[in-house]
């Protein structure tokens, strides 16, 4: 059982990742704020993910804040070749745990430097520009904000760039400034509004990473999903992840957890084969 069973994608020179990734958000405390209840277990989760073949780890310095990055650093530094850290900038956290959009060029640059510090890196593999309206994308201009990150890429502090919560129009706008190697948008069995963008990413060899692949704070519930899971001898969560992996050649899944046992359950989805009629039934969930 390894993440390599899901296959890999070469996104750019020096950037090949296995399509079964890991999202670090749940390593922080409740509501992604403060320290975890069991830091030792959190460190074990990250180390086990890499041992099981995960090469795409998704994080951000605003998780905690600082908490998940510091756990990743403790678990993995010095980082093994081939393990890639994807982080996000575009938000800060209030003292009450609130999420505060912050995408001015100056703030974005400060956030990049904060990620470098807490991860213990001299250069970040991939930085996503996290846009404020991620659940319902807009076509608001992003050239100034994305351009600020492109400047840091030219300075050698970032290798590659991505967008989170972006529309098709915003992807096109960003590509005029610098290459985009990854999109991270809300997408899962029941949230299919980005079908066209996912398919565009597949055509252009851009990774499409689904945030909340299992529904996030409102887990996916479907009789069809439960029936398919019972039929193939897997959990509904494993089926939902397997469906995402077969959705396109550049789909990447980044389920999160703070428990090693749950991590290993998720990784098993990389080996799950879904019958054609089961896939058709799952496809229809998002069309209803």
Whether residue 192 has pLDDT greater than 80? yes
pLDDT band at 218 (very low <50, low <70, confident <90, very high): low
Other Cβ atoms less than 10 A from the Cβ of 179: the count is 14
pLDDT band at 212 (very low <50, low <70, confident <90, very high): confident
Say if CB 49 and CB 71 are below 8 A apart. no
User: Which contiguous run of DSSP H or E holds residue 91?
Assistant: strand 91-93
Whether residue 287 has pLDDT greater than 80? no
Query: Mean pLDDT, the chain, as a whole number?
Result: 95
d(CA 79, CA 59): 15
Whether residue 216 has pLDDT greater than 90? no
Whether residue 109 has pLDDT greater than 60? yes
Say if CB 5 and CB 18 are below 8 A apart. no
d(CA 278, CA 274): 6
According to the model, what pLDDT value does residue 222 have? Answer: 85
d(CA 245, CA 8): 11
Q: Which residue has the tokens 């050649």?
A: 249
Nearest alpha carbon to residue 243 among 207, 215, 280? 280
- Return the active site residues: 63
Please list the alpha-helical segments (H only) found in 52-190: 67-76, 105-119, 143-154, 168-175
According to the model, what pLDDT value does residue 53 have? Answer: 97
Query: Within its chain, how far is the Cα of 125 from the centroid?
Result: 14
Q: At 149, list the tokens.
A: 């990150």
Please check whether the domain covering 3-285 is classified as CATH 3.60.20.10.
Answer: no
Say if CB 239 and CB 273 are below 8 A apart. no
According to the model, what pLDDT value does residue 262 have? Answer: 96
According to the model, what pLDDT value does residue 176 have? Answer: 98
User: Which contiguous run of DSSP H or E holds residue 93?
Assistant: strand 91-93
């Amino acid at each position: 059982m390894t993440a390599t069973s899901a296959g890999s994608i070469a996104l750019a020179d020096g950037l090949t990742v296995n399509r079964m990734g890991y999202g670090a958000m749940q390593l922080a405390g409740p509501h992604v704020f403060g320290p975890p209840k069991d830091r030792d277990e959190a460190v074990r989760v990250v180390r086990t993910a890499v041992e099981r073949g995960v090469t795409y780890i998704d994080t951000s310095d605003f998780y905690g804040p600082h908490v998940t990055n510091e756990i990743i650093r403790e678990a993995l530094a010095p980082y093994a070749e081939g393990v890639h850290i994807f982080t996000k900038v575009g938000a800060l956290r209030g003292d009450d745990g609130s999420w505060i959009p912050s995408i001015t060029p100056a703030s974005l640059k400060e956030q990049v430097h904060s990620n470098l510090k807490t991860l213990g890196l001299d250069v970040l593999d991939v930085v996503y520009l996290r846009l404020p309206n991620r659940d319902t994308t807009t076509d608001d201009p992003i050239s100034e904000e994305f351009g600020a990150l492109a400047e840091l890429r030219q300075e050698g502090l970032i290798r590659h760039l991505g967008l989170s919560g972006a529309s098709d129009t915003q992807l096109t706008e960003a590509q005029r400034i610098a290459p985009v190697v990854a999109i991270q948008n809300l997408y899962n069995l029941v949230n299919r509004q980005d079908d066209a963008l996912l398919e565009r990413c597949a055509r252009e060899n851009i990774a499409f990473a689904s945030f909340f692949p299992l529904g996030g704070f409102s887990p996916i519930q479907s009789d069809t999903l439960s029936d398919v899971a019972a039929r193939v001898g897997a959990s509904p969560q494993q089926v939902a992840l397997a469906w995402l992996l077969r959705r396109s050649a550049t789909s990447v899944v980044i389920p999160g957890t703070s428990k090693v046992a749950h991590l290993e359950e998720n990784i098993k989805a990389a080996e799950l084969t879904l019958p054609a009629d089961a896939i058709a039934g799952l496809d229809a969930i998002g069309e209803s």
